[in-house]
Amino acid sequence: MNFPADRVHRRLQRRHGRSGLPSGQKFYRIALAGNPNSGKTSVFNALTGQHQHIGNYPGVTVEKKSGIVQVDDNIVEFIDLPGTYSLSAYSLEEVVSRDFVLNEKPDVVIDILDSTNLERHLYLLLQFQELGVPIVGALNMTDEVEAKGVMIDSEQLSSILGIPFVKTIGSTGAGIERLLEVALKVAEGQLSSQKRHLNYGKQVELAHEAIIDALMLDESFKERYSLHWIAIKLLEKDRDAIRKIENEHRLAAIVLQAAKDWRERLEKEFDEDCEVIIGEQRYAYIHGAIKETVKIAKRRQVVDFTESIDRIVLNRFLGIPVFLGIMFVIYQITFKLGNPLSDGVSIVFTHLSLFLTRILPAGPLRELLTNGIINGVGGVLTFLPLVVLLFLGLSFLEDTGYLARAAFVMDKFFHIFGLHGRSFIPFMISTGCAVPGIMSARVLANQKDRKVTILVSPLMMCGAKAPVVAMLVAAFFPEHATLIFWNIWLFGWLMAFVMALIFKQSLFRGAQTPFVMELPPYRLPTVKNVFIHMWEKSSEYIKKAGTVILAASIIVWFLLSYPKVPTRTSDLSAENVPAIEYSFGGQLGKMAEPVLRWAGFDWKIGISLIAGVAAKEVIISTLGILYGIEAQLSSDQLHVDFMVKNEIKNDQQYSPLIAIALMVFIMIYIPCIATLAMVKKELGSWKWPLFQVGYTLLVAFIIAVGIYQIGGLLGLGG
């Protein structure tokens, strides 16, 4: 095996030389743990460089990043655990982290700590130590803490906690080399990292020992878990630990009874819940350790930049305007810069397709290649500039620490609809395009909030629906075009909020998830980290979403192209009938006419709406084809627009009332295929995009029928 080595490792290699034979290679697994905002990502990037692999933890949608590199003669796999504050059983991320350590037993866990806030960060480290795994602590952001005139005696801290500590600066890479060296020494057993647990005080320790005694009754259970950890978790009434006992301990009843008795005893003594007692003891222990190791050398007056910025950014009255301004900039960068690039990609593929049409003989193969595959690949790649630019903006928001502020500023309003303040970001991005919009829903840490947001985001007016709505408005309401258009735009937002509220009250009912979150100090992101983040997300989009979008667009193309017009027909009029009418999609559109009539739609609209599932802007060109507008001109979008507008305006079948019903229908009904593929990718199952197809179709139909029927009764039908 030959793994490319990063700069840090090359330096290490130079120092140690390449001794030993390749057969002497050892394989180590090192997990990276840490609170959010501890600088864990930059340490991970410094350790693994470009060699990162993104996947999921088995069976869940929690993202798992890992990277394999060669260090000296060792192969080391780094696994980035989710950033959490604690290791309780309340969140998926926390359960994933601790189960990874318990089941996979990595050789070492490196815990990254923000040195400027040791107390809070040691709280997590000690919980990892309790899991019974060797720990190395990285005292990160050492530069910041020293600038404040605070000295941390890392030797003393090491001897109190029994864990090696290394000072690092993640953003510059300082100390990372040493951190790796120490971690490998611990992995090799040359340096000790004690697996003991912290002292919870006399009474708790007594209970703890007694529960361990009960746990010892099952020999095989003892092998599997750190009994210290299980005993503490049982005192905390941790539901996951209780489940482990129920399923895996031979004498579960005895153990659980002992845990219950001791809990009750402690609760009586302390007049407090056990979970609280243990949390408080943990903090008390840390407080003691810090008192002995952290010295304020000379108190330096440091300007609190974070507070100065927050005075403006979080100001009661300025907060929302500042937020909208920042969103405006991100939106403009994504779409104003991205759309011309997308168009460029699209033109390249159109030309490629034309070129192949010229050189290949006509037939199903040529059609599959040009209209099916090349169109599909082009469809995937046109979104790429948007995805890249969006993640440039988002990683900037996230890395600076502003994202948490965005939620602070917007939360009240969004909470009314059961959403989180951060839902604004995917909503806003979706008004440009739902594909990057749905990706941006990752800013929501809570899975319920994220699902609801993803389900309703495609209801926004996106860049593809806009020209269709604009065309209809221009055709039927030439005098109030702008007003009607913006009302339809707002209607998209309204629907998103209403549907979110409905979903929160029905499908996603249940206990409120806490909003409590840290507002981290502002920090300047490093160019390297922003680019690694962008690269990851873009390649992920191509690999995961791209393939699904491609497959889906080929299927839709097939349904709209086959079966072909029968060739041997001698009927002249049949020759003038567009091929699409004969296709499966066309037949479906015609079949649906009796139902669509309730909303005032005819079969032409039916077929166009079906074609629109491929991409919403296709609705116009499909109508064009059905009206017999010359296909060659379809490259000239403005011309097609104009012609279609005139055709439907003069078509006696339609009225302004039908136009309204149609616009509303287009806003709500089935998201485009690329969006559905993205939803599948983000939520990990076809269940959600299929549900989305169902509910949007139903709601769109009900509202469109309502408008047409009630409008008709009120005499607006003429």
Q: Binding to other proteins (CB under 8 A): which residues in 117-176?
A: 117, 119-120, 123
**CB 555 to other proteins: min, Å:** 43
Single-letter code of the amino acid located at 125: L
**CB 423 to other proteins: min, Å:** 15
**CB 313 to other proteins: min, Å:** 11
The smaller minimum CB distance to other proteins, of residues 37 and 553, is found at 37
Q: DSSP labels for 174-205? A: BTHHHHHHHHHHHHHTSS----------HHHH
Single-letter code of the amino acid located at 495: M
Q: How many Å separate Cα 493 from the centre of its chain? A: 21
The smaller minimum CB distance to other proteins, of residues 181 and 310, is found at 310
Q: How far apart are CA 35 and CA 128, in angstroms?
A: 12
Q: How far apart are CA 437 and CA 455, in angstroms?
A: 11
Q: Binding to other proteins (CB under 8 A): which residues in 170-229?
A: none
Q: Is 684 left (phi over 0), alpha (psi -120 to 50) or beta?
A: left
Q: Is 88 in the site for other proteins (CB under 8 A)?
A: yes
Q: Which two tokens stand for residue 534?
A: 């962008």
Tell me which of 188, 209, 261, 518 binds other proteins, using CB under 8 A: 518
**CB 34 to other proteins: min, Å:** 14
Q: How far apart are CA 464 and CA 675, in angstroms?
A: 12
Tell me which of 195, 224, 415, 504 binds other proteins, using CB under 8 A: 415
Q: Is 513 in the site for other proteins (CB under 8 A)?
A: yes
The 619-658 site mask, x for binding other proteins (CB under 8 A), equals ----------------------------------------
Q: Which two tokens stand for residue 271?
A: 């007049």
Assign 685 to helix, strand or coil.
coil
Q: How far apart are CA 457 and CA 423, in angstroms?
A: 9
Question: Phi first, then psi: what are they for 534, rounded to 5°?
Answer: -60, -45
Q: DSSP labels for 534-597? A: HHHHHHHIIIIIIHHHHHHHHHHHHHHH-SPPPTT---HHHHTS-GGGGSHHHHHHHHTHHHHG
Q: Is 290 in the site for other proteins (CB under 8 A)?
A: no
Q: Which two tokens stand for residue 202?
A: 């006399």
The smaller minimum CB distance to other proteins, of residues 30 and 443, is found at 443
Q: Which stretch in 100-108, 278-286, 333-341, 476-484 sits in contact with other proteins by CB under 8 A?
A: 278-286
Verify cis geometry, omega within 30 degrees of 0, for the bond prior to 22: no
DSSP label of 631: G
Tell me which of 511, 572, 638, 714 binds other proteins, using CB under 8 A: 511
The smaller minimum CB distance to other proteins, of residues 139 and 404, is found at 404
Q: Which stretch in 49-57, 251-259, 312-320, 696-704 sits in contact with other proteins by CB under 8 A?
A: 312-320
**CB 489 to other proteins: min, Å:** 24
The residues, any chain, with a CB within 8 Å of residue 713's CB and separated by 6 or more, are none
**CB 227 to other proteins: min, Å:** 23
Provide the β-strand partners of residue 71: 74
The smaller minimum CB distance to other proteins, of residues 355 and 413, is found at 413
Q: Is 519 in the site for other proteins (CB under 8 A)?
A: yes
Q: Is 411 in the site for other proteins (CB under 8 A)?
A: yes
Count other Cβ atoms within 10 Å, centred on residue 698.
12
Q: Is 477 in the site for other proteins (CB under 8 A)?
A: no
Q: Is 568 in the site for other proteins (CB under 8 A)?
A: no
**CB 70 to other proteins: min, Å:** 38
Q: Is 264 in the site for other proteins (CB under 8 A)?
A: no
Q: Is 317 in the site for other proteins (CB under 8 A)?
A: yes
Q: Is 504 in the site for other proteins (CB under 8 A)?
A: no
Count other Cβ atoms within 10 Å, centred on residue 450.
22
Q: Which two tokens stand for residue 266?
A: 């402690």
Q: How far apart are CA 675 and CA 670, in angstroms?
A: 10
Q: Is 514 in the site for other proteins (CB under 8 A)?
A: yes
Count other Cβ atoms within 10 Å, centred on residue 562.
14
Q: Which two tokens stand for residue 111?
A: 């815990």
The smaller minimum CB distance to other proteins, of residues 172 and 315, is found at 315
**CB 123 to other proteins: min, Å:** 7
Q: Which two tokens stand for residue 638?
A: 């403005």
**CB 283 to other proteins: min, Å:** 5
The smaller minimum CB distance to other proteins, of residues 268 and 316, is found at 316
**CB 355 to other proteins: min, Å:** 56
The smaller minimum CB distance to other proteins, of residues 158 and 513, is found at 513
Q: How far apart are CA 604 and CA 595, in angstroms?
A: 13
Q: Is 417 in the site for other proteins (CB under 8 A)?
A: no
**CB 285 to other proteins: min, Å:** 12
Asked if residues 161 and 286 have their Cβ atoms less than 8 Å apart, the reply is no
Question: Phi first, then psi: what are they for 114, rounded to 5°?
Answer: -80, 110
Q: Is 303 in the site for other proteins (CB under 8 A)?
A: no
Q: Is 515 in the site for other proteins (CB under 8 A)?
A: yes
Q: Which stretch in 344-352, 517-525, 620-628, 651-659 sits in contact with other proteins by CB under 8 A?
A: 517-525
Is the CA virtual torsion 681, 686, 687, 691 positive or negative?
A: positive
**CB 197 to other proteins: min, Å:** 17
Q: Is 712 in the site for other proteins (CB under 8 A)?
A: no
**CB 84 to other proteins: min, Å:** 9
The smaller minimum CB distance to other proteins, of residues 310 and 602, is found at 310
Q: Which stretch in 310-318, 349-357, 462-470, 558-566 sits in contact with other proteins by CB under 8 A?
A: 310-318
Q: Is 486 in the site for other proteins (CB under 8 A)?
A: no
Q: How far apart are CA 185 and CA 278, in angstroms?
A: 33
Asked if residues 389 and 333 have their Cβ atoms less than 8 Å apart, the reply is yes
Instruction: Give me the half-sphere count of Cα atoms (radius 13 Å) on the Cβ side of residue 300.
Output: 13
Asked if residues 130 and 123 have their Cβ atoms less than 8 Å apart, the reply is no
Q: Which two tokens stand for residue 239?
A: 């539901």
Tell me which of 77, 240, 280, 593 binds other proteins, using CB under 8 A: 280
Q: How far apart are CA 403 and CA 410, in angstroms?
A: 11
The 91-120 site mask, x for binding other proteins (CB under 8 A), equals -------------------------xx-xx
Helix (H) or strand (E) holding 35: none
Q: Is 362 in the site for other proteins (CB under 8 A)?
A: no
Single-letter code of the amino acid located at 523: R
Q: Which stretch in 10-18, 279-287, 387-395, 623-631 sits in contact with other proteins by CB under 8 A?
A: 279-287
Residues found near other proteins in the complex (CB under 8 A): 85-86, 88, 90, 116-117, 119-120, 123, 271-273, 275-276, 279-280, 283, 306, 310, 314-317, 319-320, 404, 407-409, 411-413, 415, 511-520
